[in-house]
């Protein structure tokens, strides 16, 4: 392979990378957008292969990258269009297991290096869990480098046979601060509280897909212990998913102080109005919600699972997964202690400042690309 350089000195051809995105969770889609923009700004040719809906939702072409529609499926037609898009690539970078499998199939018989970022861990039981292990093994062995977004994902990639697995925290772009003066901010906050039905009572917010592993059943159990609190806190859960009907039945049947509000595009306004954010999941890597909460200076109660402890440090109250009593106690203690909430806000701001910037993340990824595309580097 000829030497390629991102900044193409002496008239050399610029490096061409193909970023492969599957369905695209919020975290991986935002990361690919950030990466595509940063690489393009450094003179790298970037092609993003993703379903058109993901490309539109995240304005992937606004980054300076070329977009090729590749559906989220591993059928021969999808693999063939991906293979064509990768024909002159110096390196292919796939995000997520299914995108990585498609990329590995598309690169069969070629010497193009494949980098895979594991953003999250899939959940499966029984026969599906065995299939998932096979998929993880296939992807781990096909990749020249696996980048894990948390230490436990790096360990998992190694246990599945990855030749080279490294920690590569992805950056969630810091939210733009709400403009305007304090009076405007208070007005927006009051409007959000009124709309959610939380005027004059504490507002607790969580968001994410309504799936079993998110721990919402444990969270609903915890709300039963807040019933003696005055004023009674309101828990708002934003998101959609297969568990919605079951959660709604339980909320109504038990008269719980909880509202399911579906998918929202005003998350930053909701966070600005929130007194606390809770994250009750059974597993997370670099949780987008945890990052948003710390950036927005909202105290966070989260489960001590996956990449959460290394992400938040001492800037959140951590509880064991599945322990409704511990979760309820942590929330009640924070609501009763304004000084503790203030300390957590300051710790959150300090912790967020230690996370890599978008620029540092792009630099780190580009150094992996350079290493894999140097002459004799493979």
Residue-wise pLDDT for 183-199, tens only, equals 677 788 888 888 888 88
Separation between Cα atoms, residue 151 and residue 156, nearest integer Å: 9
Residue-wise pLDDT for 295-333, tens only, equals 999 999 999 999 999 999 999 999 999 999 999 999 999
DSSP string across 219-288: HHHHHHTTTTSSSPPEEEEE---TTHHHHHHHHHHHT-SEEEEES-S-HHHHHHH-SEEEE--S--SS-H
Cβ-contact 254, 224 below 8 angstroms = yes
Residue-wise pLDDT for 237-296, tens only, equals 999 999 999 999 999 999 999 999 999 888 889 999 999 999 999 999 888 899 999 999
Cβ-contact 294, 162 below 8 angstroms = no
pLDDT value at residue 2: 41
Angle between helices 216-224 and 324-335 (to 10 degrees): 60
Contacts of 277 (CB under 8 A, 6+ apart): 204, 205, 206, 271, 289, 290, 292, 293, 298, 299, 300, 301
Structure tokens at 238: 């934003």
What is the chain's mean pLDDT, rounded?
A: 90
3-state secondary structure of 364: helix
pLDDT value at residue 23: 67
Cβ-in-10-Å burial (0-12, 13-18, 19+) of 261 comes to middle
Neighbours of 98 (CB within 10 A): 18
The DSSP secondary-structure symbol of 70 reads -
HSE-up of residue 263 (Cα within 13 Å, Cβ side): 5
Give the chain's length. 378
Domains and CATH numbers, the chain: 9-171+357-373 (3.40.50.2000), 182-352 (3.40.50.2000)
HSE-up of residue 319 (Cα within 13 Å, Cβ side): 23
Separation between Cα atoms, residue 306 and residue 68, nearest integer Å: 33
The pLDDT > 90 percentage for the chain reads 72
Angle between helices 97-106 and 127-142 (to 10 degrees): 50
Separation between Cα atoms, residue 312 and residue 291, nearest integer Å: 8
Give how far Cα 300 sits from Cα of 43, 303, 346, Å.
39, 10, 12
Separation between Cα atoms, residue 315 and residue 250, nearest integer Å: 32
Q: pTM score, two decimals?
A: 0.86
């Amino acid at each position: 392979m000829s030497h390629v350089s991102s900044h193409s000195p002496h008239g050399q051809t610029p490096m061409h990378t193909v970023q492969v995105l599957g369905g695209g969770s919020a975290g991986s889609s935002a990361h690919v957008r950030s990466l595509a923009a940063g690489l393009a700004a450094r003179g790298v040719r970037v092609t993003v292969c993703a379903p058109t809906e993901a490309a539109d939702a995240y304005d992937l072409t606004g980054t300076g990258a070329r977009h090729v529609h590749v559906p989220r499926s591993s059928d021969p037609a999808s693999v063939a269009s991906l293979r064509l898009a990768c024909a002159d690539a110096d390196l292919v970078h796939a995000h997520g297991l299914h995108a990585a499998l498609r990329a590995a199939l598309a690169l069969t018989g070629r010497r193009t290096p494949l980098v895979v970022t594991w953003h999250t861990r899939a959940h499966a039981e029984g026969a599906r869990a065995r299939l998932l292990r096979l998929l993880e093994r296939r992807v781990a062995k096909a990749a020249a480098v696996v980048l894990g977004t948390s230490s436990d994902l790096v360990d998992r990639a190694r246990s599945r046979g990855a030749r080279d697995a490294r920690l590569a925290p992805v950056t969630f772009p810091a939210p733009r601060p709400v403009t305007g003066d304090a009076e405007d901010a208070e007005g927006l906050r009051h409007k959000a509280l009124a709309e959610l039905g939380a005027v004059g009572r504490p507002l607790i917010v969580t968001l994410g897909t309504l799936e079993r592993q998110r721990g919402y059943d444990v969270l609903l159990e915890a709300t039963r212990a807040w019933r003696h609190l005055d004023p009674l806190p309101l828990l708002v859960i934003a998101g959609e998913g297969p568990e919605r009907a079951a959660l709604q039945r339980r909320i109504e049947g038990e008269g719980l102080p909880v509202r399911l509000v579906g998918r929202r595009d005003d998350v930053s306004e909701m966070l600005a109005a929130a007194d606390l954010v809770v994250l009750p999941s059974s597993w997370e890597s670099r949780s987008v919600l945890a990052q948003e909460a710390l950036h927005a200076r909202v105290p966070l109660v989260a489960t001590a699972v996956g990449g959460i402890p290394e992400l938040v440090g001492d800037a959140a109250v951590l509880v064991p997964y599945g322990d409704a009593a511990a979760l309820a106690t942590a929330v009640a203690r924070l609501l009763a202690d304004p000084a503790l909430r203030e300390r957590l806000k300051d710790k959150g701001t300090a912790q967020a400042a230690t996370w890599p910037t978008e620029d540092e993340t792009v630099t780190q990824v580009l150094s992996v690309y350079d290493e894999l595309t140097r002459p004799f580097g493979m």
